[in-house]
Amino acid sequence: MKCARVSVVIPTRERLAQLRRALAGVERQTFRDFEVWVVDDGSTDGTPEYLQRSRLGSDYPGIPSIRALINEQPAGAAAARNRVLDHARGELVAFLDDDDVWLPEYLERQIANLDRHPDATASYAPHMEVDRRGRHTRPDLQPLFDYDSTLLHLMTESPIHTLSALVCRREAFDRIGRLDEGLSVVHDLDWYARLVLSGGRLIPLPGAPLLEREIPGGLVSGVHRWFEEERAVLHRVLRDRPACARHQRQIRAHRALFFARLALARKDYGFAAARLFEAFSGAPVRSLQIVARRLSRNLRPRELPAPHATDTERVDAP
């Protein structure tokens, strides 16, 4: 039996309604040579029972192949994704979070981008953000500064905000290893860094947004843990790539200011103050430049009309 060209990997936990919306988006893809793997990570909201129903395929007749894996106990998003890699056989792997939605041309355009760049390991697409009131905004992904390497850009102002925006070649996992299951938040950033350190190439897909990312996302459990995990990944990168070590103060200033903004939004003033002190004491000039450039850009992106609203708001009936 011929393998599908693309394996779509969807981890889920306790979000059955969002999962069904994500699957509906997959069903509407214009590219058709794909299989879907859903792994439930210990849900108690009826998701395992839904995935095990014999009529699951009939709920999404436009999906060529859909299979489910069930974890009886939660193991984390990285472990859920890794488990699918034991079964999926596609030449390409496309990740999708259960609370995100692809627009219909997502796979078609991502795959065309990789076909145009056979030396590239992965392609990432622009996205929109959708808040709980249904307001759409496009994040500003233009870097504040010029960077002399992809790795430095990743560690400073990563342009890839979600794995849902990434399609990569399967061989990369065989070559550099799988996602680090010890990281609950930044296993994606860690994998991107390992990819680049191994000589892999990440390429952007220019143009209009091709997916909707729900914010706040469900995978980030807390700013403190996110910060601690990211700091550990940064330490490993600086250890393995001495050329980046000379930029250490600048990288830490960027990330400290980023986490200060997150903490202020959550009214975690002590953590925000600590990050501001870290940024300005470590790299005062760079920190002032970052703040000035951010302020000059209208930090909040303009609100966009919801694209294909009747499609993206659909949730199939039970």
Domains in the chain (CATH in brackets) are 6-222 (3.90.550.10), 247-297 (no CATH)
Omega of the bond leading into 204 within 30 degrees of 0 (cis): no
How would DSSP label each residue in 236-295? Answer: HHHHH-HHHHTTHHHHHHHHHHHHHHHHHHTT-HHHHHHHHHHHHHH-HHHHHHHHHHHH
What CA–CA distances, in Å, run from 107 to 36, 179, 205? 13, 22, 11
The beta-strand segments (E) located in 53-152 are 66-71, 92-95, 100-102, 122-124, 127-130, 136-137
Which H or E run contains 25?
Answer: helix 16-27
For the question of whether the overall pTM of this predicted structure is more than 0.75, the answer is yes
Each of the 318 residues of the chain gets a pLDDT tens digit; together they read 678 999 999 999 999 999 999 999 999 999 999 999 999 999 999 999 999 886 777 889 999 999 999 999 999 999 999 999 999 889 999 999 999 999 999 999 999 999 999 999 999 999 999 888 888 888 888 899 998 889 999 999 999 999 999 999 999 999 999 999 999 999 999 999 999 999 999 999 999 999 999 886 544 448 899 999 999 999 998 887 877 778 889 999 999 999 999 899 889 999 999 999 999 999 999 999 999 998 887 655 455 555 543 333 323 322
Whole-angstrom distance, CA of residue 192 vs CA of residue 210: 20
Identify the pLDDT of residue 317.
Answer: 28
Whole-angstrom distance, CA of residue 126 vs CA of residue 205: 7
The beta-strand segments (E) located in the chain are 6-12, 34-41, 66-71, 92-95, 100-102, 122-124, 127-130, 136-137, 166-169, 202-204, 211-214, 303-304
Identify the pLDDT of residue 218.
Answer: 45
Find tokens 């997916």 and name the residue. 211
Whole-angstrom distance, CA of residue 166 vs CA of residue 126: 10
Please state the separation of Cα 265 from the chain's center in Å: 21
Whole-angstrom distance, CA of residue 301 vs CA of residue 102: 20
